[in-house]
Amino acid sequence: MNVKLLFGLLFLVSLTTFAQDKKWSVETNYGVIPNDGFGGDDNILDFGLKYRFADFNFMQLGFGVNGGFSKDDIRSINGEGRTTESFYIQPRIFTEFIIPGSEKLRPSIGLGYSIVNDDVEGRLDNENIMWNVTNGGFNLNLGLSYDITKSIFVQAQYDFIKVNYRDELIFQGATVKPDFNEKLNNIRLGVGLRF
């Protein structure tokens, strides 16, 4: 087992050291989420993977996917409230621009779809509530990364997400069929590795 782990690490190091075209990148981000973002105060991490499939010198086209978790805990004085755990995945097509004379700074734009799964538990009107719903919608991503080395970068990203709430849930013994859209704004700060 240790030998396999060692060979895996050596393979990853060789990719990052000797690769001429760094088409892949992995990233981890922390969600600095405003009040109208995915979740609430207890935001954990977001992870991403990107692959650049076309290079035009001044820009690269690629496909990426991010996934993450956030938690929102709302309680009132009388003990009622809810806890919402949101899990999300965001596949997207993106364009990364390379600025001549400032190659370390890379703005990007991406279009995709966000799938959000909300797991809600709590107490409302003296009744326990519990449901799990999955909804999704259009996602616009704007980003800016800065290369610290040829392989390591830092970045900031903004997401505009229009979530379509359509998934049914049961509340107080009745089936509720929501039919509304919500606009979410997310800001993420992170680090990444190109290989």
* Maximal CA-CA distance, the chain: 63
* Residue 90 contacts residue 112 (beta carbons within 8 Å): yes
CA 65, chain centre distance (Å): 8
**pLDDT at position 18, please?**
46
Half-sphere exposure of 18 (CA within 13 A, CB side): 6
Structure tokens at 97: 């621009």
CATH assignment of 2-194? 2.40.160.20
**pLDDT at position 19, please?**
45
Q: Cα separation of 146 and 84, whole Å?
A: 34
pTM value is 0.79
Q: Cα separation of 83 and 70, whole Å?
A: 11
**pLDDT tens per residue across span 19-55:** 457 899 999 998 887 655 665 555 667 899 999 999 9
Alpha-carbon Rg for the chain in angstroms:
20
Domain boundaries, the chain: 2-194
**pLDDT tens per residue across span 67-86:** 988 888 877 777 688 888 88
